[in-house]
Amino acid sequence: MKPVIIGICGGSGSGKSTVTKSIFEHTGEARCTIIRQDNYYKDQSHLPFEEREKTNYDHPFAFDNALLISHIRALKANQAVDMPEYDFTAHNRKRETIRIEPKKIILLEGILLFSEPEILSLLDMRIFVDTDSDVRILRRIRRDMRERGRSLDSVMEQYLTTVRPAHLQFVEPSKRYADIIVPEGGHNRVAVDLIQTKIDQILLASKNDLTNTD
């Protein structure tokens, strides 16, 4: 069985990670792995820190999509990849990488997955997590202050100057490409349960195919 690539998209703070975690825990580590688009921000070692601080993380140009696409293709071909890691405090890619082995279900999570046509074409299932903007900004403030050492003023300024405009230009329009839209982030248990049921059916069909082949 070739790995099934499931794209989980939505605005920053929408609850993508909650949905992704729920699916991962239900499916199990033996059969499922996670690739996050955030890991594929471009290496900026050639820039001084002052310039790296100005990075617009919500624009498609910030991502090394060529590398991400090559890794998705490799995983689909049942080949392992070395996923990069990113340090948001240094605004740069880390030296370390994470070895990702191909598994039956690969969850690909990111804000701009559906706005990149080549990535979109590689997805077997497309899920969009749709959450109100006021909830998303509150979640982003909490995450950036706790996990990335940001001040409230810097988070608000970034939201108004880059996050919101990029969401309206790139993320929101890409919702039309979704197979499934999950309202209210990861708290919509009915939607998440339906997704998990579909994944169970895919895995069962794969198991039956192998049995019939034998």
> Binding-site residues for ATP, please?
10-17
> Taking the chain, what is the end-to-end CA distance rounded to the nearest angstrom?
14
**Known binding site: residues?**
10-17
Distance separating alpha carbons of residues 64 and 37, to the nearest angstrom: 9
Tokens of 41: 């921000």
Q: What is the DSSP string of 84-153?
A: EEEETTTTEEEEEEEEE---SEEEEEESSGGGSHHHHHH-SEEEEEE--HHHHHHHHHHHHHHHS---HH
**Residue 164 burial class via C-beta count within 10 angstroms: exposed 0-12, middle 13-18, buried 19 and up:** middle
